[in-house]
Structure 1
Amino acid sequence: MKEQSSISKATIDRLPLYFRTLRMVQDEGLDIISSEELGRRLGITPEQIRKDLASFGQFGKKGVGYYVNELKRNVGTILGLDNHWNIAVIGIGHLGAALANYQNFVSLGFNLVALFDQDPTVIGSTVNHVKVEDVRNLQKIVASRHIHIGIIAVPAAFAQEVADTLVKAGIKGIWNFAPIKMKVPETMHIVNEDLSIGLSSLSYHITRK
């Protein structure tokens, strides 16, 4: 396998697509899939798929294809999904509640162990069998429950403060849905999901179609 630093971001970004498609193929009952069929489903060339996977080792059998269960397990391991990360959602409004109710967290290897909000009418309620805690206890609970990933779904005005608290608590990664650019240490990995950018981009393209 190549050194992590030599593997392109584009290759890494395609791994979750491979994993998702392999899950679907597994559900269909297929035992073997070719790079051609995998590529057809993803809109990626077979050559690119073979090149991406070769960055991480030898998979599949020439003239046969990839064994679906084995490849899915290997891609999941590469993605670190067998680490069973503990996650928390901060901000249980409409978006936060929807994220907390996402049923695929468990099947992907993530454990939803805490929810946080500042609204007294929300604190103490449960979403997806998890109790909503007072956000003022965020740092203590993140540390005590060994939470690895924080999902920020609070208004932009509060997002940086939440991120700072998560960093102090020793969080490993942040998935940010607040529409601001976070200031976090360089060692902190953060993924930003700005829904307005996605919709604006879509509007641009369909306006000019």
Structure 2
Amino acid sequence: MAQPAPIPRGVPEATVARLPLYLRALTALAERGVATVSSDELAETAGVNSAKLRKDLSYLGSYGTRGVGYEVEFLQHQISREIGLTQDWPVLIVGIGNLGHALSNYGGFASRGFRIAALVDADPQRTGEEVAGLKVRHSDDLDDVVKEFNIAIAVIATPAHAAQAVCDRLVDLGITSILNFAPAVVQVPEGVDLRKVDLSTELQILAYHEQRKNGAALALTAEQAVELAKAVGG
């Protein structure tokens, strides 16, 4: 079974997590016809510190040219190759509810090296339903689906209560790269790479920051009121 190519040894996980940011920035630059970019410009586009960017790229053996910077097209290809995006990764989505539908219909995966190859759901009423040009298969067929499409990466988009069981089954079938969208904590054995996307948690973090901004605004207004009262009373 095909698996995503490993990042070179010695590359910190934090660096690996930032490589897609650099690739997205480079893709945007390439689409604008930019041939070379300085580390400062690339860092600003990616939203990171320039020193951190230079350190990250040095792990890949890319140091740029003094006074010129980085060749956009070459660095774009280099990062794509290192994180395995020059290949065609067949992806399975398990759970074809609203989120599963949305992920299945997202057109941006193909241009980034990912192909939605199969869809699976436990609801027999969804079996045979066509989503994004693919027929939904029943979860009873999961073993056959993984083998038939040589699945490399699985996406869990099931309800929370089903996530762990689905994950366990995927691992048993040899899937070692899993992206979990279910709002549940999922445990995997050593050797399995699990990434979690928790939309509710991210919204809660934004709510926290929004509340703090509102609190700061209220505090400022109160301070202004005090100054105004002093001025009037004085």
What is the TM-score normalised by the length of structure 2?
A: 0.84
1:27 matched to 2:31: yes
What's the secondary structure of 1:191's corresponding residue? strand
Of the three residues 107, 121, 126, the one matched with 2:111 is: 107
The separation in 2 between residues aligned to 1:139 and 1:49, in whole angstroms, is: 42
Question: In structure 2, what is the equivalent of residue 63 of structure 1?
Answer: 67
Question: How big is the shift at 1:152?
Answer: 0.3
Q: 2:93 corresponds to which residue? A: 89
Rg larger for: 2
Give the aligned CA root-mean-square deviation in angstroms.
1.5
Aligned residues: 207
Structure 2's unaligned 5+ residue stretches are: 1-6, 214-234
Q: Do the aligned residues in 1 keep the contact of 2:39 with 2:69 (CA within 8 Å)?
A: yes
Q: Deviations over 1:150-194 (max 9, x none)?
A: 100000111111111111111121100112221221111100111
1:4 Cα deviation from its structure 2 partner: 4.6
Distance 2:143 2:63 in 1: 42
Q: Which of the numbers 43, 50, 55 marks the counterpart of 2:54?
A: 50
Q: Is the 8 A contact 1:139 1:168 kept in 2?
A: no
Mapped partners of 2:115, 2:62: distance in 1: 30
Deviation at 1:72, TM superposition (A): 0.3
Out of 171, 192, 203, the residue aligned to residue 199 of structure 1 is: 203
Question: What is the alpha-carbon distance in structure 2 between the residues aligned to residue 189 and residue 73 of structure 1?
Answer: 24
SS of alignment partner, residue 126 of structure 2: coil
* Unmatched tracts of structure 1, length 5 or more: none
Percent of aligned positions that are identical = 41
Preserved contact between residue 35 and residue 65 of structure 1 (Cα < 8 Å):
yes
Give every structure 1 segment of 4 or more consecutive aligned residues whose post-TM-superposition deviation is greater than 4 Å.
Answer: none
* Inter-partner Cα distance in structure 2 for 1:59 and 1:151: 35
Task: Give the corresponding residue for 1:116.
Answer: 120
Counterpart-to-counterpart distance in 2, 1:183 and 1:18: 30
Structure 1 equivalent of residue 20 of structure 2: 16
Distance (Å, rounded) in 2 between the aligned partners of 1:183 and 1:38: 36
State the shift of 1:108 in Å.
0.7
Q: Does residue 171 of structure 2 align to residue 167 of structure 1? A: yes
Q: Which amino acid aligns with 1:57?
A: G
CA distance in 2, matches of 1:91, 1:45: 38
Rounded Cα–Cα distance in structure 1 between residues aligned with 2:55 and 2:110: 30
Residue 5 of structure 1 and its aligned partner are, at CA, apart by 5.1
Q: Could you tell me how far apart the structure 2 residues matched to 1:127 and 1:35 are?
A: 42
